[in-house]
Copies of this chain bind each other. A is one copy, B any other.
Amino acid sequence: MDSKKLKELAKCPYDLTKQGALNPERIGKYSAEACGYKLLYSTERVNDGVMQALLDLSLQTKVFEKMDAMQAGEVCNKIEGFPSENRKALHTATRDFFHPNPSPAAKEAAALAKKEIDKLKAFMPKLDQFKDLVMIGIGGSNLGPQAHYLALEHLKKPGKNVHFICNVDPDETAMVLSQVDLKNTIVLVVSKSGTTLETATNEELVKARFREAALDPKKHFIAITGQGSPMDNKVKYLESFYIWDWIGGRFSTTSMVGGVLLAFAFGFDVYYEFLRGVSSMDKAALNRDLSHNLPLLGALLGIWNRNFLHIPTEALIPYSRALSRWSAHIQQVAMESNGKHIDKQGRFVDYPTGPIIWGEPGTNGQHSFFQLIHQGTDVIGLEFVGYLENQCGKDLEYGGTTSQQKLISNLLAQSIALATGEKSDNPNKDFAGNRPSHLLIGTQLTPHSLGVLLGYYEHKIAFQGFVWGINSFDQEGVQLGKVLAGRIINCFADKKNRKGYPVADAFLKQIETL
């Protein structure tokens, strides 16, 4: 990542606190639009020179070529010269039915995905017979589906309920099962490999309860798994839906991993309309014009803050209760994709890659951690998301404005306050300002615009990985913990094993004496 120009510019970034620095002309100028969203970034510490240098950096790191190649199905999930996953990253194919990518690999993948979608459509009458759906899956098989389900909860069909079991925590299973009537419950078990320990454990726990209730699990369990995996077994499951090695868990919501659940809760058409939204942002991500390529624009603003203004974290703050788990989902997509220490040639990088992503919904956040964002000793980059209209239609004027107007006013106020700050003779009322943020604003959160939002984040994160020159599509960093957990589990299974693992033995002795 060669970037002398940007390093030079970062010595004196745009000062938003100067009188008139944030003015109507600037607000109008630093505005981009695609697929029904505007990205307003006048409150970032950028100017034309910085934007040009960021665009140059993106061209120099060949981000468009890489995005084209990814969506065309090139093997981009790999590290040159070392054993690695060596896979495509073709999650775009799971929604590529509207203006299909012409590459043979993408067409083949989209055809496979479409077959599953058609299978789901045909399966809907059976699915609709159930009242409760329990989804057993972890990581990407939990966070994305849950965040999307909550985002559209207002559209839930009467009498339907959805529940999630992810952690290998017996209380989670117990609490969920206390809320459902097993007779009318369908269980989705999601694991691409068909061997995820947490998921298998929870599946057994739930199956045991079905058996206790004299119900045949086979009539209540659906597998969502890789074709040919140990879970692809018609003897054990009512139906199997397939995913493939070219869909990473964190990019799987548009596949059957999210599809079965969304179609159950909201109807098949809502799921399909959601796919149309994601696909439209897939296409926008190919646009060479930065003012209409929101994911690339968001990616570059993030890189400016991360690599040149040295801001280690980015807070994602939605002003919408429907997006209450959105930050947790994007936290995974971003941090699992770009929390990497080597580049695609296997060299340790000497610059920061993926930042820590965190966040909570807006107005509640203002009464919580925003104190630190305004007056703490660290600067935090912020991405605000908001909508002009609410979802449920029920609003009330109070004091001359609706709640939705108050909500959007709060969102704008935060961005302005953080940017301009305020001087005061009382140091406790002094706001330093120059705390950068940008706004992503849509008209209303619908199945389509939710899809667009997902596309924005998936591609923003991919673009950042392209600029950093890393592989955003593997997750080797989770392996060591898995191996050690297995060894400690063995110590529980048989005390004799503790002799061979004195460190674990010492920890267990400590906690056993509680």
Contact = CB atoms under 8 A, between A and B. Distances in A.
A208 B397 CA distance: 11
B367 A249 contact: yes
A15 interface: no
A492 B409 contact: yes
A485 B403 contact: no
Interface stretch (A221-229, A288-296, A330-338): A330-338
A400 interface: yes
Interface in A479-493: 479-485, 487-489, 491-493
Contact of A392 (B170, B422, B509): B170
Contacts of A61: none
Given A426-B82, A511-B388, A335 B403 contact: no
A490 B314 CA distance: 30
A31 interface: yes
A414 interface: yes
Interface stretch (A4-12, A96-104, A122-130, A320-328): A320-328
A207 to B, nearest CB: 10
A12 to B, nearest CB: 22
A164 B114 CA distance: 40
Nearest to A336: B371
Most B-side CB within 10 Å, residue of A249, A352, A412: A412
Interface residues of A, number: 159
A219 B321 CA distance: 28
A340 B375 contact: yes
A347 B43 CA distance: 28
A370 to B, nearest CB: 6
Nearest to A491: B409
A510 B38 contact: yes
Nearest to A489: B409
A201 B416 CA distance: 23
Nearest to A501: B416
19 contacts: A24-B505, A27-B507, A37-B514, A83-B426, A170-B403, A171-B320, A171-B390, A201-B399, A205-B398, A250-B368, A336-B369, A371-B475, A406-B492, A409-B488, A409-B492, A412-B485, A414-B484, A417-B484, A428-B474
Closest 6 CB pairs between A and B?
A: A339-B372, A139-B367, A339-B376, A24-B506, A375-B477, A332-B368
